[in-house]
Amino acid sequence: MTSQQEPTTTPRHRVVVIGSGFGGLFGTQALKRADVDITLIAKTTHHLFQPLLYQVATGILSEGEIAPATREVLANQRNARVLLGNVTHIDLAARTVTSRVLDRETVTPYDTLLVAAGAGQSYFGNDQFAQFAPGMKSIDDALELRGRIFGSFEWAELASTPKEINRLMTFVVVGAGPTGVEMAGQIAELSRRTLRKDFRNIDTSRARIVLLDAAPTVLAAFGDHLGAKAAKRLAEIGVDVQLGAKVTGVDATGIDVEDADGSHRRIESVCKVWAAGVQASELGAQLAEQSGAQLDRSGRIAVNDDLTLPGHPEVFVVGDMAALKGYPGVAQVAIQGSRYAAEQIKRRLAGKEPKGPFEYHDKGSMATISRFSAVASIGKLHFTGFIAWVLWLAVHLVYIIGFKSRLTTLLHWTVSFLGRGRSERTVTEQQVFARTAIEQLGSSYAPSLPRVPADKKAPAQSVAQAREEGSRTL
């Protein structure tokens, strides 16, 4: 593996942003007119609109519509550049960030650091469940689930016994939060509307969709009233909601459950979806070890009221990684936090007094249940049914990045919700099995890309230097 250190001389203040999610992207954009050089480092080449991942998994939207290229989004922001790499180490003393892609390691210095690395799926100490019940935190996850969901119907068409057909046509979603509710609702609609005329040996409308949660209510964060409305609507569209049910085991052909009364049972199911729990990025543990800050159960790091790391005012932590005042791990917290951090950076550079403590302004919560049905909580107002669904559509269209993506998303929604078709039903064997195949190669497997001997030079330190070197090359 080769390692390269970027030059350390630059005329402008260097801001390094980790992550291209809501926090990273909106924070970078908020510094567009600031006198700084921004380097955004992310392990993917895209900005992911995570709330719509379930629609990629169920064939409504393509991945490109909810995951535009980060470089394209920032193409006109002249003080920002994007580096592909998985951040493996943050050195608070040296003020450097180390990232890696394949066998290439890059060390990037910073004057101010904005950490917005997000969170992954949590299996509550049972990571072995992931092999058989994928989470839904990335494009890879959504495409794998799409292959598993549509593939289950294909395999059921080939099955010759009722027992095998039932196992293949039983879908279990673990977690009755917004993601789980939306996923369960869409699988129900998929089986009862989209696919009902497409098969000859099976009746897809007889598919069983089970929504499990150890909690006593659906959509607990929405309150009892909206939770009850959501549970009622789920039952109406054929979702079997099972609450007070704790998952104790998952394997290739089923899921083991412990009920509230202590009894145990098994649900035979080939296709399982894990939508319960999140775990903050491992970078939080690094920051905690170096700064002495505390971590909560989800791996989030306790930050000061101004979102800075204790003892390190040059480091801001936002979004799913930050633990402050019990704020939830939702997109709006990340967006508002990153914009607040950007404003603090600009004030510092201008010699102004800092803003007061960060305060999150709750703009409400929404979740779709089925076509034309949703629940929404906005302040003291609660909406259900069609009105909530229209509100949900409008809000999500606003936050999708780019006019082109908004237009194509709207067209796909029209096809899927007014008709019964879904244009993104293509699945491949690779989608379903690639993750497991890579994991079976073991931790010693490290892909590499051969490089010419002369390719040892570190990338340009700043946006201006990168542009100058590029023009010389041309």
Please give the C-alpha separations between residue 62 and each of 26, 192, 222, 412, 427, in angstroms, as whole numbers: 23, 21, 29, 9, 12
Q: Quick one: how far is CA 249 from the chain centroid?
A: 25
What string of H, E and C letters represents the secondary structure of 50-76? Answer: HHHHHHHHCCCCCHHHHCCEHHHHCCC
| Residue 16 bridge partners (DSSP) | 39, 113
Please give the C-alpha separations between residue 143 and each of 6, 140, 216, 415, 435, in angstroms, as whole numbers: 36, 5, 31, 20, 11
Inter-residue contact 108 to 83 (CB < 8 Å): yes
Q: Output the six-digit token pair for 102.
A: 């394949």
Give the burial class of 2: count Cβ atoms within 10 A of its Cβ; 0-12 exposed, 13-18 middle, 19 or more buried.
exposed
Please give the C-alpha separations between residue 38 and each of 74, 107, 216, in angstroms, as whole numbers: 11, 15, 46
With both helix axes pointing from N to C terminus, report the angle between 178-189 and 224-236 in degrees, rounded to the nearest 10: 20
In this structure, is the dihedral angle defined by the CA atoms of residues 284, 286, 290 and 292, taken in order, positive or negative? positive
Q: Output the six-digit token pair for 252.
A: 């290739």
Please give the C-alpha separations between residue 411 and each of 61, 392, 434, in angstroms, as whole numbers: 10, 16, 31
Query: Beta strands 104-109 and 112-115: pairing type?
Result: unpaired
The residues, ordered by sequence, that sit 6+ positions from 60 with a Cβ below 8 Å of its Cβ are 186, 412, 413, 416, 422, 424
What string of H, E and C letters represents the secondary structure of 294-349? Answer: CECCCCCEECCCCCEECCEEEEEECHHHEECCCCCCCHHHHHHHHHHHHHHHHHHH
Query: Beta strands 312-317 and 308-309: pairing type?
Result: antiparallel
d(CA 156, CA 2): 49
For the annotated catalytic residues, the residue numbers are 182
Give the burial class of 99: count Cβ atoms within 10 A of its Cβ; 0-12 exposed, 13-18 middle, 19 or more buried.
buried
Query: Coil, strand or helix: which one is 146?
Result: helix
Inter-residue contact 97 to 41 (CB < 8 Å): yes
d(CA 57, CA 318): 28
DSSP 103: T
